[in-house]
């Protein structure tokens, strides 16, 4: 092992919700990122780098561990209601970047604008110091100027007898996107953007539509999309200028970055109205998945541009190789993007990148994208098949039917996907090893419906009509099941949970009788808006085996109700109410960020 002082410092910038194609260096005609583009020219620009999933909670654990799938490592969000967040999951031989660097003698410092990336969570515990900068709750997040000011302060005060790691998490590109100086750049003069959007880039129109689905942008005109993208570019240019101040401080001590590595990466991107969506839902579009990755400093040859695919699980293994850190065999699923001598790029050619989350697996090659939903997942049951195949043209895509040659193509992609992800998925499943001691709540999006149960699906919204909901049988809408008419078979569902006996009940919201015409939309709001159960219907004792618990929900027991959660109470424990929504600053901040309603 080389002596510790020879190791370079590391500055790691996490750009939340930043997509690659808005960077100048990635082809945006607007000069959004002159400073980060210059950094990329002084180092390596990974032109085809992808996030492994669509949102912070799903993506950060994969980025920070170098593993597909991973128990959650952020501050709690919906305790006990998401199988990746079960507190008794084991981390199982993995190591997170901050703790890896700490083990190798680094002083581990950080500043974060994200209310989930804080000192008091598994990711934060690896830091000697991680400062969360809280915004005024209605703003959601502080801006890059405050984050960079604190980062510069931490950098100047760092210990000089050992290498330092500085983590900098900026949120300016996450909604709400606040305009620096109340001005939208990159718009033709005279565009009346204030009539269409607030200063936080929230549309002033379509409230009924976005009441049901905040990311629905099907009503954006081309001009609205241009304004929305200009907001984004404005925030990106501002972030770039702020980060330039931090890079100047680094260079004032180390002009050619000979003893520092700078990594710039994102956790996911953002839809900007293409395909009728904003924000970062699991659309798996390139807008959400294709992100920037820049590495510079510490002897890396400048001017390199990598056209081969890379993905977020490669970032930590690449840093580990660059910094010459010993890691246990099998610690990572990702592969280093530099050769063993650490300065030459890997020549490995990769056919594509992989997306992994509880609800989907996907593989993206240069020409195609295949999404595979979990077997029995509500969306797959609704669609009648698990797979969707798109043909890609640049960053645009077109869904293709699974007929003719597309069948064989989908089979080949699916085989590649299973070869890469089946092992990590099974390993993740096995982390459900410890018995819980209190009730677990599993919302329907994580239920797996037994074969052969027909389900009708709806996108509830302003254009929903009474007749839509009267089709006999089971329905799925707004992440809940309900029944229309009788004579249905039981809804048999399976959920993942540690082995053992449980008392099971289902949390429901009463629907009442829908009015035929008038007041239908009032009823719809009352019946479908809220996801909190009003009461629980007992379903008896069940035993989980091989980490799966199956329960049949009888029609008679839940008729006239919407099913919004399963409650599993381990034998011997007392059934608990779901954790209440905290009405505090943290909650208000999460609402501003669009995480809760």
Site residues (vs Zn ion, CB under 5 A): 16, 56, 267
- Burial of residue 134 (number of CB atoms within 10 Å: 0-12, 13-18, 19+): middle
Give the nearer residue to Zn ion in terms of CB position, either 269 or 336. Answer: 269
Taking the complex as a whole, how short is the minimal distance between the CB of residue 267 and Zn ion, in angstroms? Answer: 4
Give the nearer residue to Zn ion in terms of CB position, either 289 or 569. Answer: 289
Q: Which of 189, 200, 180 is nearest to 241 (CA)?
A: 180
Give the nearer residue to Zn ion in terms of CB position, either 267 or 333. Answer: 267
Taking the complex as a whole, how short is the minimal distance between the CB of residue 116 and Zn ion, in angstroms? Answer: 9
Q: Which of 564, 546, 574 is nearest to 439 (CA)?
A: 574
Q: What is the distance between the alpha carbons of residues 516 and 153, in angstroms, rounded to a whole number?
A: 63
Give the nearer residue to Zn ion in terms of CB position, either 16 or 274. Answer: 16
Give the nearer residue to Zn ion in terms of CB position, either 16 or 503. Answer: 16
Residues with Cβ within 8 Å of residue 260, at least 6 apart in sequence: 8, 9, 10, 11, 250, 254, 297, 298
Give the nearer residue to Zn ion in terms of CB position, either 53 or 368. Answer: 53
Taking the complex as a whole, how short is the minimal distance between the CB of residue 544 and Zn ion, in angstroms? Answer: 32
Give the nearer residue to Zn ion in terms of CB position, either 33 or 279. Answer: 279
Q: Give the Å distances, CA to CA, from 409 to 104, 184, 370, 461.
A: 45, 44, 9, 36
Q: 305 pairs with which residues across the strands?
A: 45
Taking the complex as a whole, how short is the minimal distance between the CB of residue 14 and Zn ion, in angstroms? Answer: 8
Give the nearer residue to Zn ion in terms of CB position, either 18 or 566. Answer: 18
Q: What is the distance between the alpha carbons of residues 547 and 430, in angstroms, rounded to a whole number?
A: 8
Secondary structure of residue 448 in the 3-state scheme = strand
Give the nearer residue to Zn ion in terms of CB position, either 16 or 387. Answer: 16
Q: What is the distance between the alpha carbons of residues 296 and 298, in angstroms, rounded to a whole number?
A: 7
Query: Nearest residue to Zn ion, using CB?
Result: 56
The torsion angle over the Cα atoms of residues 233, 236, 237 and 243, rounded to 10 degrees, is: -170
Residues in the chain: 597
CA angle in degrees (0–180, nearest 5) for 414-420-421: 85
CA angle in degrees (0–180, nearest 5) for 269-273-274: 85
Taking the complex as a whole, how short is the minimal distance between the CB of residue 114 and Zn ion, in angstroms? Answer: 7
* The two three-digit tokens of residue 42, written as one number: 């002084």
Taking the complex as a whole, how short is the minimal distance between the CB of residue 54 and Zn ion, in angstroms? Answer: 9
Taking the complex as a whole, how short is the minimal distance between the CB of residue 314 and Zn ion, in angstroms? Answer: 19
Give the nearer residue to Zn ion in terms of CB position, either 16 or 311. Answer: 16
Secondary structure of residue 286 in the 3-state scheme = helix
Give the nearer residue to Zn ion in terms of CB position, either 143 or 267. Answer: 267
Taking the complex as a whole, how short is the minimal distance between the CB of residue 265 and Zn ion, in angstroms? Answer: 12
Q: What is the distance between the alpha carbons of residues 87 and 217, in angstroms, rounded to a whole number?
A: 36
Taking the complex as a whole, how short is the minimal distance between the CB of residue 266 and Zn ion, in angstroms? Answer: 8
Secondary structure of residue 424 in the 3-state scheme = helix
Question: Is there a contact between 193 and 199 (Cβ–Cβ < 8 Å)?
Answer: no
Taking the complex as a whole, how short is the minimal distance between the CB of residue 238 and Zn ion, in angstroms? Answer: 18
Secondary structure of residue 101 in the 3-state scheme = helix
Q: 457 pairs with which residues across the strands?
A: 476
Rg (CA), the chain: 24
Give the nearer residue to Zn ion in terms of CB position, either 171 or 413. Answer: 171
Q: What is the distance between the alpha carbons of residues 235 and 23, in angstroms, rounded to a whole number?
A: 12
DSSP for 405-426? HHHHHHHHHHHHHHHHHHHHHH
Q: What is the DSSP letter of 580?
A: P
Q: What is the distance between the alpha carbons of residues 536 and 504, in angstroms, rounded to a whole number?
A: 10
Q: 360 pairs with which residues across the strands?
A: 373
Taking the complex as a whole, how short is the minimal distance between the CB of residue 118 and Zn ion, in angstroms? Answer: 14
Taking the complex as a whole, how short is the minimal distance between the CB of residue 268 and Zn ion, in angstroms? Answer: 6
Q: What is the distance between the alpha carbons of residues 546 and 496, in angstroms, rounded to a whole number?
A: 9
Give the nearer residue to Zn ion in terms of CB position, either 240 or 267. Answer: 267
CA torsion through residues 154, 156, 157, 159, sign? positive
Question: Is there a contact between 292 and 20 (Cβ–Cβ < 8 Å)?
Answer: yes
Taking the complex as a whole, how short is the minimal distance between the CB of residue 330 and Zn ion, in angstroms? Answer: 28
Q: 449 pairs with which residues across the strands?
A: 493
Taking the complex as a whole, how short is the minimal distance between the CB of residue 239 and Zn ion, in angstroms? Answer: 14
Helix (H) or strand (E) holding 279: strand 278-279
DSSP-based helix, strand, coil % in the chain, nearest 5: 30, 25, 45
Q: What is the distance between the alpha carbons of residues 570 and 189, in angstroms, rounded to a whole number?
A: 63
Taking the complex as a whole, how short is the minimal distance between the CB of residue 166 and Zn ion, in angstroms? Answer: 19
Give the nearer residue to Zn ion in terms of CB position, either 226 or 265. Answer: 265
Give the nearer residue to Zn ion in terms of CB position, either 268 or 478. Answer: 268
């Amino acid at each position: 092992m080389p002596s510790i002082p020879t190791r370079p410092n590391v500055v790691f910038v996490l750009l939340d919700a930043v997509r690659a194609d808005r960077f100048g260096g990635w082809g945006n005609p607007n000069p959004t990122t002159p400073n980060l583009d210059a950094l990329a020219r002084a180092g390596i620009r990974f032109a085809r780098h992808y996030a492994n999933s669509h949102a912070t909670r799903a993506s950060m654990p994969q980025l920070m561990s170098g593993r597909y799938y991973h128990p959650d490592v952020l501050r709690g969000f919906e305790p006990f209601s998401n199988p990746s967040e079960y507190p008794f999951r084991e981390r199982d031989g993995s190591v997170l970047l901050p703790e890896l660097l700490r083990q190798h003698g680094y002083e581990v410092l950080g500043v974060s604008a994200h209310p989930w990336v804080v000192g008091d969570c598994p990711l934060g515990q690896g830091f000697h110091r991680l400062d969360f900068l809280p915004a005024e709750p209605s703003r959601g997040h502080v801006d890059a100027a405050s984050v960079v000011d604190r980062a510069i302060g931490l950098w100047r005060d760092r210990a000089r007898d050992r290498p330092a790691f500085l983590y900098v998490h900026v949120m300016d590109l996450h909604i709400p996107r606040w305009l620096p100086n109340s001005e939208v750049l990159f718009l033709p003069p005279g565009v009346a953007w204030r009539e269409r959007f607030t200063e936080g880039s929230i549309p002033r129109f379509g409230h009924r539509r976005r009441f049901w689905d905040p990311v629905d942008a099907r009503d954006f005109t081309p001009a609205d999309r241009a304004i929305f993208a200009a907001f984004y570019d404005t925030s990106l240019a501002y972030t770039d200028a702020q980060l330039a101040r931090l890079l100047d401080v680094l260079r004032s001590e180390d002009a050619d970055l000979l003893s520092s590595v700078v990594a710039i990466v994102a956790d996911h991107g953002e839809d900007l109205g293409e395909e009728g969506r904003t924000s970062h839902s699991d659309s798996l579009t390139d807008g959400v998945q294709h992100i920037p990755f820049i590495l510079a400093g510490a002897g890396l040859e400048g001017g390199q541009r990598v056209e081969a695919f890379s993905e977020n699980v490669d970032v930590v293994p690449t840093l580990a190789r660059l910094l010459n850190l010993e890691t246990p065999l099998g610690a990572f699923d990702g592969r280093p993007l530099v050769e063993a001598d650490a300065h030459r790029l890997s020549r490995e050619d990769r056919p594509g990148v992989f997306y992994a989350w509880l609800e989907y697996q996907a593989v993206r090659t240069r020409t195609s994208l295949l999404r595979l939903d979990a077997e029995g997942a509500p969306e797959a049951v609704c669609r009648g098949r698990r797979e969707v195949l798109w043909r890609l043209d640049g960053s645009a895509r077109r869904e293709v039917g699974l007929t003719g040659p597309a069948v064989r193509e989908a089979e080949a992609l699916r085989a590649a996907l299973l070869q890469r992800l089946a092992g990590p998925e099974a390993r993740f499943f096995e982390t459900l090893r410890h018995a819980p001691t209190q009730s677990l709540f599993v919302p329907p999006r994580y239920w797996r419906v037994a074969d052969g149960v027909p389900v009708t699906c709806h996108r509830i919204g302003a254009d929903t009509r009474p007749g839509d909901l009267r089709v006999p049988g089971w329905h799925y809408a707004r992440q809940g099941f309900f029944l229309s008419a009788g004579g249905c078979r039981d809804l048999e569902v399976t959920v993942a949970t540690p082995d053992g006996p449980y008392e099971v009940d289902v949390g429901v919201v009463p629907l009442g009788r829908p009015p035929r015409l008038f007041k239908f939309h009032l009823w719809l709001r009352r019946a479908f808006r809220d996801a909190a159960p009003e009461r629980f219907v007992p379903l008896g004792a069940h035993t989980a085996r091989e980490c799966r618990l199956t329960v049949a929900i009888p029609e008679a027991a839940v008729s006239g109700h919407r099913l919004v959660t399963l409650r599993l109470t381990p034998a011997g424990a007392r059934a608990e109410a779901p954790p209440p929504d905290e009405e505090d600053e943290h909650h208000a901040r999460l609402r501003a960020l669009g995480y809760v309603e």
